[in-house]
Amino acid sequence: MSFGDSVPDYLHDCLATLTIDLSSIIHNYQHCLQLTGGKECAAMVKADAYGMGIAHVAPALFHKANCRTFFVASLAEAVKLRQILPEAIIYVLNGVFSGQVVYFIKNNLRPVLNDLTQAALWQAISAENRPACAIHFDTGINRLGLSPMDTTQFINDVSLRKELDISLIMSHLACADDPDNPMNARQLADFEAITQNFPDIPASLANSGGILLGPDYHFDLVRPGLLIFGGNPSKGAMPKNIKVPFQILGKILQIRTIGTGQSVGYGATWTAKQPRHIATINIGYADGYPQMFNNCGWVYIKGTKLPVVGRVSMDMIGVDITDANPQEIGPECDVELLGPHITLEMASEVSTLSQYEILTGVRERYRRIYI
Amino acid sequence: MSFGDSVPDYLHDCLATLTIDLSSIIHNYQHCLQLTGGKECAAMVKADAYGMGIAHVAPALFHKANCRTFFVASLAEAVKLRQILPEAIIYVLNGVFSGQVVYFIKNNLRPVLNDLTQAALWQAISAENRPACAIHFDTGINRLGLSPMDTTQFINDVSLRKELDISLIMSHLACADDPDNPMNARQLADFEAITQNFPDIPASLANSGGILLGPDYHFDLVRPGLLIFGGNPSKGAMPKNIKVPFQILGKILQIRTIGTGQSVGYGATWTAKQPRHIATINIGYADGYPQMFNNCGWVYIKGTKLPVVGRVSMDMIGVDITDANPQEIGPECDVELLGPHITLEMASEVSTLSQYEILTGVRERYRRIYI
């Protein structure tokens, strides 16, 4: 439920807020450009721009950072993006199915063709109406893309290759987050061998993690997502110049003092070993603060990092504020749950959730502020 | 990102669907009425009616099942609900803060007063303008509600009690899911003692789990949420008459055959021990299918329960369809991820996530169909 349209602004004062700094997103995009020495840098904006809001993020990247190429997962996401950016190049990763062809044409969308059936479907369209397309060769993630056998067949089908207006050939890395994984070099070698057959067509292999694997992985176009949104896509160190572009602030609803032996939250999973001050915050798992933070999450209040105690409820969490001078803290105080002080990397480490899942988990109940 | 408003219906054909059967929700509500022998049965509709859509669920309960009392978490949720149901009784669990008073009055909303500050704030409003209110006494969950010390003070403040138009006194159980937990009886005893001081005011203790604890816990009004939406709020057996009112269907994007030793998905966490047929489905964690289902989730395709293999991606999962006669299964086939065959209880068991979190995790990218 998004409150943006139906509830007046003043009511937002009582809600938790998600602030998104578009200039930091642009900064991160430009840093990706630098990391690749000026190769074309597309933007992954599927899943509502990783939850950050495609209607704001995509225009910022297009108009302020000259990003021209965008990837989304589904046709519906692509149509939405086309309404926002009439001029952008838009690729649809899920491929194309027969009932969808007319909408690809009408909206000038480029399918990422994932198998020979889709290639034949696209070939059957009259050439003057047909947008360009990408061909996705699977090199080992076994999710979408032409299998090795289909790849050989496609490469040998010279007339099919000539008829399709192929604007990009691509593959996708399975283990780019782990620079030491031998699968990266295997996928790189396989993709390089494929590219030899398409000397005049731009090639793309690298997601955010692939960018950090180095120039061999960059080819002609890179496709960052998480890096643009301030996460670390690698088990290695975070690039120093990446900024955190978002901050989630909850509010304290109530503060209580509890005695030794008293518990907090459902299931009574946390018990006070001595008297403690507990703040109840207005964010829970229905806002995308998962129960994997039960008894292990951290929040940031007035300069102090403080622990989540007890289970995360649907709409609330408990925080032990005893170490933060409770005299300074009261109801309606702001509480950072994710942002510059509680980064995706930190949240991922304590929860064991991936940074991607935490980021895209951000939900609709927040008041959203774009700066 | 909701597609409902901006993308034409025909595009929905390519999306995963969430079908919600309002008649089953009504059936479950009526079953709660039966379980409590006709006590008043309110409905918990916070968090967008547990993700099922408050704009559809609340009117169905009000008009078709005569439900008159609704609980939401925040003022913003309450204002939204007031626009939908002008006549309903609406309680706001988060309490009331000074900047919000005017909107409570304007929208005829009842705050659940959680501490003496809120009680004083409400008392200060002129009586002819002031809606009724609930008083929340904390009996051990230590989240919201008057502490034991505040409770004593409130009980002794006869003028405050007289001035406020108290329509409900309530408390909340911490361990209602576990009938054997001694905390239930302790909270019951404490709440019963409190109710002695308010003989003329309706009392409420039971959430869904509390309803199943038996008549002692029912008092005058019960507040089911999960039971209405088809989940089991107890470690005990599910009540036989509760129906599953929702079904999430994804679609197969592509099917591939992989050889022994090949892996599926990010991190190559699943490897085929023999040749397998793998279907890639268009639902991922950005749709609320969490990574806790990595290599352990189940889906249902054409009558067969089939395992999720590899990590859940942002927009996709892999399913091993080898045991389902792949000749019958092809791209665009429907795949149940949650619903009558893959229940919340089953999904909770394999993922270790709570049924509540799985249910409220359902996201915006689905095409929603209400029947």
Hey, how many other C-beta atoms are within 10 angstroms of the C-beta on B117? 17
State the average pLDDT over residues B311-320: 97
Q: How much of chain B exceeds pLDDT 70, in percent? A: 96
What is the domain partition of chain A in residue ranges? 22-222, 246-370
Interface test with B, best of A5, A54, A186, A253 (most B CBs within 10 A): A253
Q: Tell me, yes or no, if A46 is annotated catalytic.
A: yes
pLDDT tens track for A84-101: 999 999 999 999 998 899
Contacts 24+ apart (CB under 8 A), B323-327: B326/B255, B326/B277
Interface A-B, measured as beta-carbon pairs within 8 A, has a size of: 242
Residue B17, pLDDT above cutoff 60: yes
Catalytic-labelled residue, pool A29, A39, A46, A91 = A46
CATH 3.20.20.10 for domain B22-222: yes
H or E stretch at B308: strand B304-309
Q: pTM for this structure?
A: 0.94
pLDDT at residue A12 tops 80: no
Query: Is A10 an active-site residue?
Result: no
The candidate with the shortest Cα–Cα distance to B232, out of B111, B333, B354, B338, is: B354
Chain B hits for A291, CB-CB cut-off 8 Å, are: 353-354, 357
Residue A102 pLDDT more than 80?
Answer: yes
Residue A340: pLDDT above 60? Answer: yes
**Burial status of residue B280 (CB atoms within 10 A of its CB: 0-12, 13-18, 19 or more):** buried
**Contact state of A314 with B174 under an 8 Å Cβ cutoff:** no
Q: Is B14 in contact with A313 (Cβ distance < 8 A)?
A: no
Neighbouring C-beta atoms of residue A102, cutoff 10 Å: 12
Chain B residues with CB-CB distance to A174 below 8 A:
263, 265-268
- Residue-averaged pLDDT of chain A: 94
Give the number of other Cβ atoms within 10 Å of residue A193's Cβ: 13
* CA–CA dist A78, A46 (Å, integer): 9
Q: Each residue of A158-176: pLDDT tens digit?
A: 999 999 999 999 999 999 9
- pLDDT score recorded for residue A2: 44
Q: What is the fold, at CATH topology level, of the domain defined by B246-370?
A: Lyase, Ornithine Decarboxylase; Chain A, domain 1 (2.40.37)
Give B23's DSSP letter: H
**ipTM attached to this prediction:** 0.94
Confidence of residue B205 (pLDDT cuts 50, 70, 90): very high
pLDDT value at B5 more than 80: no
Question: Cβ B315–A115 below 8 Å, yes or no?
Answer: no
Choose, out of A14, A277, A294, the residue to mutate when testing the contact with B (most B CBs < 10 Å): A14
| Cross-chain residue pair B360–A286, CB shorter than 8 Å | yes
Q: What is the DSSP string of B232-285?
A: --SSSPPPTT----EEEEEEEEEEEEE-TT-EESGGG-EE-SS-EEEEEES--G
Structure confidence by residue, pLDDT tens digits, A194-237:
999 999 999 999 999 999 999 999 999 999 999 999 999 999 88
pLDDT bracket for residue A366 (50, 70, 90): confident
